[in-house]
Amino acid sequence: MGDDDGNVPGIHAEEDALAKLKPLKIRKRLERINLLVIRVSKKNKLQSSKPCGNCIEIMKKIPHKKGYKLDNIYYSDGEGNIVRTDLTTLECEDKHYSSFYRRR
């Protein structure tokens, strides 16, 4: 799916990792998983990798469809820290969107 100017969005790490999850056989309990996403600059400094609004929506859908429950989400912030959160908290916070999705 492209934009009128020919730009195509890159895949974000969250979407890529969840897409690669092996589907589990149907069972009563979902397998609990955590997700860690970090972003590193060319100078090896941690940068913000907080999931964007689109990734949050993807995290709500893909794991469950494949037999998983997403417990904790870890991401790097611009201060060099690893932040632990969960989907409910991310949904309540202000969301940011990558430049491709801001133009849509």
Q: Residue 43 and residue 46: Cα distance in Å, rounded?
A: 9
Residue 31 inside a domain? The answer is yes
The domain in which residue 91 lies consists of 13-102
- Decide if 69 is inside a domain: yes
* Residue 84 domain-assigned (yes or no): yes
User: Per residue in 15-72, pLDDT tens?
Assistant: 999 999 999 987 789 999 999 999 999 999 999 999 999 999 999 999 999 999 999 9
Does 79 have pLDDT greater than 90? yes
Residue 59: which region, alpha, beta or left (left: phi > 0; alpha: psi -120 to 50)? alpha
Q: Is residue 4 domain-resident?
A: no
Burial 50-77 (b: 16+ CB within 10 A, else e): bbbbbbbebbeebbeebbbebeebebbe
For residue 60, being part of any structural domain is answered with: yes
Structural domain contains residue 47? yes
User: Does residue 5 lie within any of the structural domains?
Assistant: no
16/58 Cα distance (integer angstroms): 10
Tally of domains within the chain: 1
Which positions ≥6 away from 92 have C-beta within 8 Å? none
User: Which pTM was predicted?
Assistant: 0.81
Residue 2 lies inside a defined structural domain of this protein: no
- Find out whether 61 and 100 touch, Cβ atoms under 8 Å: no
